[in-house]
Amino acid sequence: MSSFNILNKVNVNEYTEKKGQFTYLSWAWAVRELLKIAPESTWKIHEWGIEGNTQPYMQTEAGAFVQVTVKVDGIERTQVHPVLDNKNKTIESPNSFQINTSIQRCLAKAIALHGLGLY
């Protein structure tokens, strides 16, 4: 059975968290479950800028974005995620904590593209 089919069968409902009006799956739990099923999985946090002066987010007129690629069994899936506040509103000038939070949310979503909690 493929990693996608195995991950897709995992019921994540009891591991979600409510934050305001939104329901989230913990990035740490998602990583643990992924590595239990596909321990060779890797991920990459994309960076922008000039070599020697890069940053883990891209600033645009529409706001800041992060991007994460997760590789499972040789298959790469990439997720792009805006840097948002706790009300899911765009942050025009994000700080390092807000960028890190968005990277972790993006990681969880990229893992979902491989089946975990995709339903």
In this predicted structure, what is the pLDDT of residue 12?
Answer: 93
pTM of the predicted protein model:
0.93
Sign for the CA dihedral angle at 14, 109, 55, 18 comes to negative
Structure tokens, 37: 């099923």
State phi, psi for 91 to the nearest 5 degrees: -100, 120
State phi, psi for 68 to the nearest 5 degrees: -130, 135
Give the Cα separation of 103 and 83 in Å (integer): 8
Structure tokens, 51: 């070599």
In order along its 119 residues, the chain shows pLDDT tens digits of: 899 999 999 999 999 988 878 888 999 999 999 999 999 999 999 999 998 899 999 999 999 999 999 999 999 999 999 999 888 899 989 999 999 999 999 999 999 999 999 88
**Number of CB atoms found within 10 A of residue 33's CB:** 20
